[in-house]
A and B are shown apart, each in its own frame.
Chain A
Amino acid sequence: MSFVPGQPVTAVVQRIEIQKLRQGDKLILGFSIGGGIDQDPGQNPFSEDKTDKGIYVTRISPGGPADVANLRMGDKIMQVNGWDMTMVTHDQARKKLTKQKEDVVRLLITRKSLEETVRLQLKSMLS
């Protein structure tokens, strides 16, 4: 998941589709995000590389739409509905996630355990 500035990022991603829940007059997703290019990356507890300014999931409300869709705490969000999330400010990320006209968001997320799973699978497939 580490990136070199100027080089394309390669990562193993998982597609997660979350249906927004209507609460009052708002559509909510049931998780909290942290990070962004305008934030301090050193304080992110979930990132491996402390210079990574991407958007991370910091909290999942239990039983909410994100929990149901298998989003985990510590996931890094790479894309939301096709919009890139690796080089956005915190506020831009929030806006892309909370568009009131859409009631479903398709996320591309990555986590460390994914890469390890894929590597193990490859090893077991090849061996």
Chain B
Amino acid sequence: MEDDNWGETTTAITGTSEHSLSQEDIVRITKDLEDSVGLDCRRYFTRAVAVILGLLVFLTPLAFLTLPHILWPEKLQSCGTACEGLFISVAFKLLILLLAVWALYFRPARAGLPRVFVFRVLLAVLVFLLVVSYWLFYSVRILDSQDTNYQGVVQYAVSLVDALLFIHYLAVVLLELRQLQPCYSVCVTRSTDGATRHYNLGQLSIQRAALAVVENYYSDFPIHNPALLSASKSRAAKHLAGLKVYNVDGPGNNTSAGLVQSQSRAMIAAAARRRDTSHNELYYEEAEHERRVRKRKARLVVAVEEAFTHIKRMQDEEQKKAPGDVMDPREAAQAIFPSMARALQKYLRTTKQQHCHSMESIQQHLAFCITNNMTPKAFLESFLTPGPSLQYSRDHWRARQWTLVSEASVTSGLKDGTTFLLKCVDFSLVATSKKIPYIQMSEEYIDPKSHKFVLRLQSETSV
């Protein structure tokens, strides 16, 4: 006997909570291990190549200068004043090159990008080729023939250092200056709640543009709060939960694809026809929530203002007089915190922010505000408006692993209409680039004496 009620049970889809990540955590940890091995290998390799190239670059001119003295000292002409002047020139140019290389390259790496940095590779190859060709010429024309004109050798070394300085200039222009002029406007949207920002970027490759977007994300976008999205998910579930589809034509009449299509069309039609009052519920729910939030906020503001009046900063003269019952900022924060704790906790619960702030972080923030003479309003500002991810504790920056999804190659440059996706565990950022249009500006001169006015009114009043 068929159970008449078996079709009546509806399944409700619950939103995923942020604590059910254990399975994904494991996957993520293993992926981290794999990646870290690969990444470390690449990082060490690039570092080794850079060190070797640097040593080659700095030791080559010195080698050029000292090898004649070592190999054929008797045949060598003595170095005159002009030649010795060139020694000073070589020394200072090498020093400048050293400082410039230190300034440009010896910075802590900001990020690990998926592909190599094309310009850097190009420049390294260029430097290598330059040094190799100089060595070739030196070994053939000077070492083999044991040239006795030492001044010529010194001038040759100076020309190498000059060429290196010019390559460094090229590096500055390619790596730093070229992308400063804004060329594209990138519109970045967060996929979960639609928060959007716009950034102006120059001519960058897609991976460097993605890096710029992620760095700006941490300071511009309000923190991602998954608790605020559960309401829309439950509404979406309720829309289709009440409908059941019966196939009255009997099995085997349509192919399975056609069956599914006709089923979904029937469901859409039925949902459209059903008189849906969920918009009404949403409106009243939101109004009620707004009212509750405002009430809690009022209670919170009053509690905090009262708590702040309990303590007073001690002046220096008073400090010498009365050493009893004096507190440092942390103790003062701990002393006044209990009077506002309940109101603050209720407010955070109502606005679904309670997981963003721990007791420790709130007390730290309170001690910080007391130390810097901030008003209660300044203390509350970080709780009343959700700030950027930077503002919260370190574990809210946990999405340090980002995946760049792009249809074009990530080392190709940004173009008008390029779209790429930056995925992290909880959400993704969708970025679209648009070219900033060419602006044609013309001028118009206005003579300052040409500003003249007349009365335009002819008012009529009835008496």
- A residues sitting closer than 8 Å to B (CB atoms) are 28-29, 31-35, 38-40, 43-44, 58-59, 61, 90, 94, 97-98
CA distance A28 to B457 in the complex (A): 24
Q: Point out the residue from A28, A39, A43 that lies within 8 Å of B463, measured CB to CB.
A: A28
Q: Point out the residue from B455, B460, B462 that lies within 8 Å of A38, measured CB to CB.
A: B455
Chain B interface secondary structure, helix, strand, loop or mixed? loop
0 or 1 for each of B420-461: is its CB under 8 Å from A? (1 = yes): 000000000000000000000000000000000011111111
Q: Are B460 and A97 in contact (CB under 8 A)?
A: no
Q: Are A90 and B459 in contact (CB under 8 A)?
A: yes
How near does chain B come to A69, taking the closest CB pair, in angstroms?
13
Q: Point out the residue from B455, B457, B458, B460 that lies within 8 Å of A59, measured CB to CB.
A: B460
Q: Are B460 and A34 in contact (CB under 8 A)?
A: yes
Q: Point out the residue from B455, B457, B463 that lies within 8 Å of A98, measured CB to CB.
A: B463
How near does chain A come to B148, taking the closest CB pair, in angstroms?
100
Q: Are A33 and B457 in contact (CB under 8 A)?
A: no
Q: Which residue of B lies closest to A35 (CB)?
A: B458
Report B-chain residues with C-beta under 8 Å of the C-beta of A39: 455, 457-459
How near does chain B come to A5, taking the closest CB pair, in angstroms?
18
Q: Are B463 and A94 in contact (CB under 8 A)?
A: yes
How near does chain B come to A81, taking the closest CB pair, in angstroms?
13
- B residues sitting closer than 8 Å to A (CB atoms) are 454-463
23 contacts between A and B (CB under 8 A): A28-B463, A29-B463, A31-B462, A31-B463, A32-B460, A32-B463, A33-B460, A33-B461, A33-B463, A34-B460, A34-B461, A35-B458, A38-B455, A39-B455, A39-B458, A40-B455, A40-B458, A43-B458, A44-B458, A59-B460, A94-B461, A97-B463, A98-B463
Report A-chain residues with C-beta under 8 Å of the C-beta of B460: 32-34, 58-59
Interface centre among B455, B457, B459 (most CB of A within 10 A): B459
CA distance A31 to B460 in the complex (A): 10
Count A-B pairs with CB separation below 8 Å. Answer: 41
CA distance A17 to B439 in the complex (A): 70
Q: Are A90 and B455 in contact (CB under 8 A)?
A: no
Q: Which residue of A lies closest to B459 (CB)?
A: A90
CA distance A90 to B454 in the complex (A): 16
A-B pairs, 3 with minimum CB distance: A43-B458, A32-B462, A97-B463
Q: Are A34 and B458 in contact (CB under 8 A)?
A: yes
Report A-chain residues with C-beta under 8 Å of the C-beta of B463: 28-29, 31-33, 94, 97-98
> Assuming A44-B458, A61-B462, what are 8 further A-B pairs, CB within 8 angstroms?
A29-B463, A34-B458, A34-B460, A34-B461, A39-B458, A40-B457, A40-B458, A94-B461
Report A-chain residues with C-beta under 8 Å of the C-beta of B457: 38-40
CA distance A90 to B459 in the complex (A): 8
Report A-chain residues with C-beta under 8 Å of the C-beta of B458: 34-35, 39-40, 43-44
CA distance A43 to B457 in the complex (A): 9
Q: Are B456 and A59 in contact (CB under 8 A)?
A: no
CA distance A113 to B454 in the complex (A): 32
How near does chain B come to A75, taking the closest CB pair, in angstroms?
13
How near does chain B come to A38, taking the closest CB pair, in angstroms?
7
How near does chain B come to A46, taking the closest CB pair, in angstroms?
11
How near does chain B come to A95, taking the closest CB pair, in angstroms?
10
CA distance A98 to B455 in the complex (A): 25
How near does chain B come to A78, taking the closest CB pair, in angstroms?
16
Q: Which residue of B lies closest to A66 (CB)?
A: B463
Q: Which residue of A lies closest to B461 (CB)?
A: A94
CA distance A94 to B461 in the complex (A): 7
Report B-chain residues with C-beta under 8 Å of the C-beta of A61: 462
CA distance A116 to B256 in the complex (A): 104
CA distance A38 to B455 in the complex (A): 8
Q: Which residue of B lies closest to A45 (CB)?
A: B458
Q: Are A40 and B461 in contact (CB under 8 A)?
A: no
Q: Which residue of B lies closest to A98 (CB)?
A: B463
Report B-chain residues with C-beta under 8 Å of the C-beta of A38: 455, 457
